[in-house]
Amino acid sequence: MPAETAISERRRSARTRTLIGGKVIFNQRQSTLDCTVRNLSEDGALLVFPDSVALPELFELYFPVKRESRMVRSRWRDGGRIGVSFGAVAKQDEAPVPLDLARRLRQLEQENATLKARIVELTEGA
């Protein structure tokens, strides 16, 4: 049985041929690589790179056309081609947010909400 047939039989959902740009994001969002998404399904995708690339097992895949990002797991590699699966994968390469930054973010969000309320107040009175 050809390898392609064996692979397709293991898939849970049919893949659609595509030719869209993608961006691989890894290394705590410090590194990116452009790729071409050659096929896509509910469960995974085929990514094609100009050359062979070294990527972690888990990484983020961003679809600029869809403005959508998914965490993926590398399932197989063949030179510049990588098969990935979507699913419930944790972002293992992300460091936890320091407490002082989380507190500062909460403070800024509260200030932002106060300013928005003040803008509404001022524009309604005009």
22 pLDDT more than 90:
yes
Q: What is the pLDDT of residues 2-20, one digit of tens each?
A: 444 445 456 667 888 999 9
Q: Which of 9, 53, 63 is nearest to 27 (CA)?
A: 53
Residue 42 has which token pair? Answer: 């509910």
Predicted model pTM? 0.60
> Thinking of the domain 3-86, which architecture would CATH place it in?
Beta Barrel (2.40)
Q: Can you tell me the distance from the alpha carbon of 87 to that of 37, in angstroms, rounded to the nearest whole number?
A: 17
Looking at residue 11, its pLDDT comes to 61
Confidence class of residue 94 from pLDDT cuts 50, 70 and 90? low
Which parts of 4-97 are beta strand (E)? 16-26, 31-40, 44-48, 58-63, 68-78, 81-86
Q: What is the pLDDT of residues 23-46, one digit of tens each?
A: 999 998 899 999 999 999 989 999
Mean predicted lDDT score pLDDT of the chain: 84
pLDDT for 89: 54
Q: Which of 82, 71, 6, 14 is nearest to 42 (CA)?
A: 14
CA–CA separation, 44 and 85 (whole Å): 4
> Angle at Cα 81 formed by Cα 23 and Cα 12, nearest 5°?
90
Q: Is 60's pLDDT higher than 90?
A: yes
